[in-house]
């Protein structure tokens, strides 16, 4: 259905169009691509950037202050998936790429057991979190948000605790921003990412808590 990921243009775009049905999305992740509209409300594009931002779970950098912040949050999994999506889609964040197509598509993936949210809660409620798609040992991170200090970082720590630091474990962060680099993310060549992808998705994945647990 898709052209090969290594045929992406200089911006990392492999192709434009297609639906975001669950089968289409899973096929994209398994071949090294992810969806994001070219512009808010615009055509859906399928991306495979070069270089690719990744985080090896064992390389997560947890500062003393972050470790202290984590003690103020309870980490939960898949108890508020839709709320995490909505938080990530908040238009006041100035990104605007998570539209109704994306929300509906990932809710369906969540219902099927492929998409997960990792959430940081405090006494005021949901403080932040992240969501993404888990296939074998790969966690394809899509977005994260926070309403209180370090809440999204605490969720990332929680994700790493779920994944563990064994072989064939990787978090795909798509693009390595300065924020993510400060947490231990690095850039690797696209060809390198595509080379390890089959072993990642073919590996036995971590044990995710029961839905809503």
Please indicate, yes or no, whether residues 35 and 77 belong to a single structural domain of this protein. Answer: no
- The answer to whether residue 40 sits within a structural domain is yes
3-state secondary structure of 120: strand
Find the CATH number of the domain harbouring 84. Answer: 3.40.630.70
**Amino acid 102: pLDDT:** 93
**Amino acid 209: pLDDT:** 74
**Amino acid 165: pLDDT:** 83
**Amino acid 96: pLDDT:** 67
For CA atoms 86, 90, 94, 99, give the dihedral sign: positive
Please indicate, yes or no, whether residues 17 and 94 belong to a single structural domain of this protein. Answer: no
Please indicate, yes or no, whether residues 27 and 102 belong to a single structural domain of this protein. Answer: no
Tell me phi and psi for residue 64, to 5 degrees.
-60, -40
**Amino acid 18: pLDDT:** 83
As a whole number of angstroms, the distance between CA 160 and CA 42 comes to 33
Per-residue pLDDT of the chain (213 residues; tens, 9 = 90+): 689 999 999 999 999 998 999 999 999 999 999 999 988 888 999 999 999 999 999 999 999 999 999 999 999 999 999 999 999 998 766 556 898 999 999 999 999 999 999 999 999 999 999 999 999 999 999 999 999 999 999 999 999 999 998 889 999 999 999 999 999 999 999 999 999 999 999 999 998 876 544
- Are 105 and 20 in contact by the 8 Å Cβ rule? The answer is yes
Enclosing domain of residue 23 = 5-47
Pair type for strands 170-174 and 74-77: unpaired
Please indicate, yes or no, whether residues 120 and 191 belong to a single structural domain of this protein. Answer: yes
Give me the number of domains the chain comprises. 2
Please indicate, yes or no, whether residues 70 and 153 belong to a single structural domain of this protein. Answer: yes
């Amino acid at each position: 259905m898709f052209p090969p990921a290594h045929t992406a243009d200089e911006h990392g775009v492999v192709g434009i169009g297609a639906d975001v049905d669950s089968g289409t999305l899973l096929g994209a992740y398994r071949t090294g691509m992810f969806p994001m509209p070219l512009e808010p409300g615009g055509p859906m594009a399928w991306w495979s950037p070069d270089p690719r931002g990744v985080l090896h779970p064992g390389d997560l950098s947890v500062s003393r202050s972050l470790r202290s912040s984590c003690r103020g949050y309870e980490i939960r999994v898949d108890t508020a998936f839709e709320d995490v999506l909505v938080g990530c889609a908040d238009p006041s964040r100035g990104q605007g790429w998570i539209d109704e197509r994306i929300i509906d598509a990932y809710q369906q993936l969540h219902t099927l057991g492929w998409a997960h949210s990792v959430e940081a809660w405090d006494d005021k409620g949901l403080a932040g979190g992240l969501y993404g798609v888990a296939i074998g040992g790969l966690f394809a991170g899509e977005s994260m948000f926070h309403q209180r200090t370090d809440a999204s970082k605490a969720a990332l720590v929680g994700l790493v605790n779920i994944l563990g630091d064994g072989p064939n474990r990787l978090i795909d962060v798509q693009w390595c921003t300065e924020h993510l680099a400060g947490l231990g993310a690095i850039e690797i060549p696209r060809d390198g990412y595509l080379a390890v992808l089959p072993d990642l998705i073919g590996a036995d994945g971590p044990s995710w808590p029961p839905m809503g647990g």
